[in-house]
Amino acid sequence: MIQSPFNCHFELTLELIGGKWKGLILWHLMEKKVLRNGEMLRLMPRITQKMLTQQLREMEENGLVSRIIYEQVPPKVEYRLTSHGESLRPILNQMIDWGVEYAQDKKIMIACTKQKD
């Protein structure tokens, strides 16, 4: 057993999905199933290469995302959700739905026009 610094399980979950870009990355992976580094950069124009790699590595270490390297030149690397990552889908969807309602109520504009599902 590993001792954790968390006061409750909520904090654990938050730690895993709480990075600046993790929600968006997970959301795209849920939509597209498989994505390469460059595709993600194109899908998220404001993310930097460093942040993308960093967040992906963390999620890989936490077992949310898998990384498959093809031994080619130029390199090819594929990312997809693990089953733990996939099991976050209902939470992501609920958080999006809640955000949509809240934004409507508070008259907040969000840049993204994407539809879920």
Partner DNA sequence: TAATGTACATACTAAAAGGTAACTATATAA
Partner DNA sequence: TTATATAGTTACCTTTTAGTATGTACATTA
Partners of residue 66 on adjacent β-strands:
80
Edge to edge, what strands does the sheet with 76-81 contain?
A: 35-36, 76-81, 65-70
Q: Does 23 bind DNA (CB under 7 A)?
A: no
For the chain, state the CA radius of gyration: 16
Q: Does 38 bind DNA (CB under 7 A)?
A: yes
Q: Does 90 bind DNA (CB under 7 A)?
A: no
Residues at the interface with its own copies (CB under 8 A): 1-4, 6-14, 16-18, 23-24, 27, 44, 46, 63, 84, 87-88, 90-92, 94-103, 105-112, 114
